[in-house]
Structure 1
Amino acid sequence: MQQESFTVEQATRAIERYCVYQERCHKEVEDKLRKMGMIQLAIDEIIPHLIEHKFLNETRFSQSFARGKFRNKHWGRNRIVRELKLRKIAERNIKIALQEIDPEEYEVSFDTLSRKRYEQLHNEKDKYRKRKKLADYLLYRGWEGDLVYDKVKQLIP
């Protein structure tokens, strides 16, 4: 099966639609263009066009990503930072993105999530295994270690 080929103009229009649908980072756009079979020269022409016409903005992407992953998936700061770094987001934009998370909302979300997970572990009889499962779950979701271990001690004395 032969891959469909695009002109720079067609690829630009397609990627504009891709960016309008939801916020994207440079890495996602570049990966998409490569998948479309575009050469580096074309990519180097399309990406500046997207930035100039405000289809692509890493700061806006970072803020949206942090808000969404925190509110919808209940990720902690560590996981959000890790995922943004995987997408090659600049440190400056990561700092700006983390400011999108309200500290009080962060605490409430952490408390709610840990209590919910604690309730799900009611079948686990061994106190230490229960602690480990709760801690592992919260750490995987990117919550800070000191918060996690304090909460585990509080919920499972």
Structure 2
Amino acid sequence: MEKKSYTFAEIKQKLMNYCSYQDRCHSEVEQKMREFLLIPEAKEELLLYLMRENYLNEERFTRSYIRGKFYIKAWGRNKIRMQLKFKGVPEKLINRCFDEIDETDYRRKLHHIYKDYFQKQNGLKEYQKKSKTIKYLLSRGYEYDEILEVCSEDKM
């Protein structure tokens, strides 16, 4: 299939729309640019324009990504961090933006998921239910130490 060719202005508009629809990170925008056959100088100019005009803001993206993945998808910090690294977001920026998650909310959500999942385990011994629940929470990106604290609080 032949790629449709666009003018520089059309590509710029498409990228502005792409970034306006939802916060994006640099790697997502660069991926999108691969759809258009652009010379490196044009890519550079477009990236600079998007950043200068605040269509592309890595910190804003990181903060909204963290909020969304925690408050909507209930992911733990480890999974969020891994996915952000995968998207090429710098470690320093990730660490700086984790204040988007309220510590109390984090504990509450972890507690809620733990109880919920634990109660759904049927026909298993207590230690098996606990083990499956811990594995599940680890897969959701919660920290082992935090999970163990919730486990021990649950016994009280």
Q: TM-score, normalised by structure 1?
A: 0.91
1:132 alignment partner in structure 2: 131
The SS at the match of 2:54 is: coil
Deviations 1:71-106 (CA, angstroms, capped at 9, x unpaired) = 001111111111111111122221222011111111
Question: Mean alpha-carbon deviation: is it higher for 103-112 or for 87-96?
Answer: 87-96
Unaligned stretches of 5+ residues in structure 1:
none
After superposition, residues 24-43 of structure 1 pair within 5 angstroms as 24-43=24-43
How many Å separate the matches in 2 of 1:146 and 1:83? 21
How many Å separate the matches in 2 of 1:150 and 1:102? 18
Structure 2 counterpart of 1:37, one-letter code = L
The alpha carbon displacement at 1:152 in A equals 3.5
How many Å separate the matches in 2 of 1:66 and 1:47? 23
How many residue pairs were aligned?
156
Question: Mean alpha-carbon deviation: is it higher for 85-94 or for 50-59?
Answer: 85-94
How many Å separate the matches in 2 of 1:153 and 1:25? 39
Contact preservation (8 Å) 2:110, 2:150: no
How many Å separate the matches in 2 of 1:124 and 1:96? 44
2:60 alignment partner in structure 1: 60
Structure 2 counterpart of 1:19, one-letter code = C
2:79 pairs with 1:79: yes
1:99 alignment partner in structure 2: 99
The SS at the match of 2:69 is: helix
Deviations 1:108-147 (CA, angstroms, capped at 9, x unpaired) = 11111111111221x1413343222211110111111111
Q: TM-score, normalised by structure 2?
A: 0.91
How many Å separate the matches in 2 of 1:124 and 1:4? 58
Unaligned stretches of 5+ residues in structure 2:
none
Structure 1 counterpart of 2:42, one-letter code = A
2:56 pairs with 1:48: no
Structure 2 counterpart of 1:68, one-letter code = G
How many Å separate the matches in 1 of 2:140 and 2:38? 36
The alpha carbon displacement at 1:153 in A equals 4.8
1:116 alignment partner in structure 2: 116
